[in-house]
Chains A and B, each alone.
Chain A
Amino acid sequence: RKEVEQDPGPFNVPEGATVAFNCTYSNSASQSFFWYRQDCRKEPKLLMSVYSSGNEDGRFTAQLNRASQYISLLIRDSKLSDSATYLCVVNPNNDMRFGAGTRLTVKP
């Protein structure tokens, strides 16, 4: 079993749609959680951290369920510029483990 698992997609949605991505992790010792965004042929960049109480940054909402070892990312009012691959990341020790990513395409 992979340490971090994500639905690979692709998710194809129209502009303005709401889309949700899920991620599960296997290491219960994981202490911190993140969502990164990666554009085609570019390096990953931090989108947002995920806090225990859930957190929001504009159109983006992240949730964490430690009991189920589950993380989610919700994007509201999708924009064309949201098209990218979204990577779920957990930090069990000094290193960080990445999911394979969920690809999102937002269409006009």
Chain B
Amino acid sequence: NAGVTQTPKFQVLKTGQSMTLQCAQDMNHEYMSWYRQDPGMGLRLIHYSVGAGITDQGEVPNGYNVSRSTTEDFPLRLLSAAPSQTSVYFCASRRDRSIGELFFGEGSRLTVL
């Protein structure tokens, strides 16, 4: 069972570069989200989507864009990478729009130099 798949697992960027973190789920989940995890801060919500064509901002959306053109995919775009975006990024999904267990991908470790 694939579940939630994130790529790449590791990435090093230079300041100012752009990139896209890919996330796909094969469980037909309505809700998908992106979190970043930093030491001592816990997971912070970047953006989320309650269905195809619908996205919304979380706690820390600045510097990131998302789109949800299909139910399966929810890519996260870094527009112009900054060292403050060095973090571990997790994609997560759940079946229902507003409640239920979150299933996480394995994480993407990003370093911005």
Query: A interface vs B, CB < 8 Å?
Result: 4, 8, 31-32, 34, 36, 41-46, 49, 87, 89, 91, 93-101
Contact = CB atoms under 8 A, between A and B. Distances in A.
Contacts of B40: 8, 100
Contacts of A36: 102
A87 B48 contact: no
B2 to A, nearest CB: 14
Contacts of A45: 104
Interface residues of B, number: 24
A45 B44 CA distance: 16
B48 A43 contact: no
A99 B37 CA distance: 11
Interface string B53-70: 000101100000000000
B90 interface: yes
Contacts of B98: 91, 93-94
A96 B42 contact: no
A34 to B, nearest CB: 8
